[in-house]
Structure 1
Amino acid sequence: MATLTHRIARPDDLAVLRPLADAAIAELQRPFLTPEQVAASRALMGIDTLLIDDGTYYVVEADGEIAGCGGWSRRATLYGGDASPGRDPALLDPARDAARVRAMYTHPDHVRKGVGRRILSVCEAAAASEGFRTAELMATKAGEPLYRACGYEPVEDVVDDRGGAPVPLVLMRKALAAPGP
């Protein structure tokens, strides 16, 4: 089993992260979506470079190779990448708003190896350290089992058709543990 490490993503990682996200969307969504829905997912999802600028986006490496990425946000946008419609960069209030877990992708060669769990735990700890008491995310059908296993509860089924075909998603939420002393 590969040794997993994580670090904050850098702008120069984008040359690897964008194709990784594309591969994850294309391969991991295929059992759940039609080809038209997978194509539409590309318009709705992707890397949001604002997370990299904010220092809240991470890469997980398996023996030095980038195996996955994901982050969290203190901003209002719930999901989507740089090209996604409807982004909102407004800052959230940790006392009343949920942190957003965003843009999680695992390379198809590294699924079920702890990459997604690592990203979630790092994101949750960082958001809690900034005072957020809950986290929300918009789950794909492929990602929903991981999020459920990590304690996220479904809140609402959503269909997003802004990409040209209806893509089923699930809004999920989890209470965050208070940071330790």
Structure 2
Amino acid sequence: MPIHIRPLRTDEIPQITALIRASVRGLQAGDYDEAQREAAIATVFTVDTRLVADGGYFAAETEDGILIGCGGWSARKTLYGGDHQLEDKAPDWLDPAVDAAKIRAIFVHPDWARQGIGAMLLHAAEQAAHTAGFRRYEMGSTLTGVSLYKRSGYRELERIQVPVADGQTIEIVRMTKDAH
């Protein structure tokens, strides 16, 4: 079945919110315990509406218009997170000549996992950032996504603890890649 990647519309945020929750609950159980997942869903794993407004957040959909994944990139300094994250966001613009574009918020519905959807979204994000003049990419990956990103040429820089709700933290892996 053909999958289409296109910019996400603001009216689709409720659908993407549900998709992110399903993805986190279904695909990240091996990396984060239930309390961490639920705390992250309430804070860091929320939609960043600025990313949508900037046009850098994409939807993966089936021919029938079913949303099965999301992900994108940003020319702003914020590395990860959404509207409800506990940490301050960094909304300043990046300089493509010296900064790395931020690859952001790639989630796939569990029913569509391991079918190349995440890789398609990653490729679309990289292509869009490259078209905007960026020659390096950086991300804050969940533990669940690390293997995909390593296969795609990313290398690990560091592991950081990110605060989420209820005094919990989750480990995020900061990764980078040079464009070819």
Query: Does the TM-score normalized on the shorter chain lie above 0.5?
Result: yes
> Which digits, 9 at most, give the CA deviation of each residue in 1:120-177, with x for residues without a partner?
1111011011111100011111111111111111000111134321211100001112
Work out whether 1:84 is the aligned partner of 2:85. yes
SS in 2 for 1:68: strand
- Alignment partners' CA distance in 2, 1:149 and 1:72: 19
Match of 2:13 in 1: 14
SS in 2 for 1:123: helix
Q: How does 1:15-94 map to 2 (within 5 A)?
A: 15-42=14-41, 43-63=43-63, 64-85=65-86, 86-94=88-96
SS in 2 for 1:79: coil
- Alignment partners' CA distance in 2, 1:166 and 1:53: 28
Between stretches 135-144 and 156-165, larger displacement belongs to 156-165
Q: How much does 1:57 deviate?
A: 0.8
Which residue identity lines up with residue 58 of structure 2 in the other structure? Y
Structure 1 stretches of 5 or more lacking a match? none
Q: TM-score, normalised by structure 1?
A: 0.93
Between stretches 100-109 and 61-70, larger displacement belongs to 61-70
Q: How much does 1:105 deviate?
A: 0.8
1:109 to 94, 108, 111: 111
Match of 1:175 in 2: 178
Q: Is the 8 A contact 1:70 1:119 kept in 2?
A: yes
Residues matched between the structures, number: 176
Match of 2:156 in 1: 154
Q: TM-score, normalised by structure 2?
A: 0.93
Identity over the aligned pairs, expressed in percent? 37
Moved over 3 A (4+): none
SS in 2 for 1:21: helix
RMSD (CA atoms)? 1.1
Q: Is the 8 A contact 2:40 2:164 kept in 1?
A: no
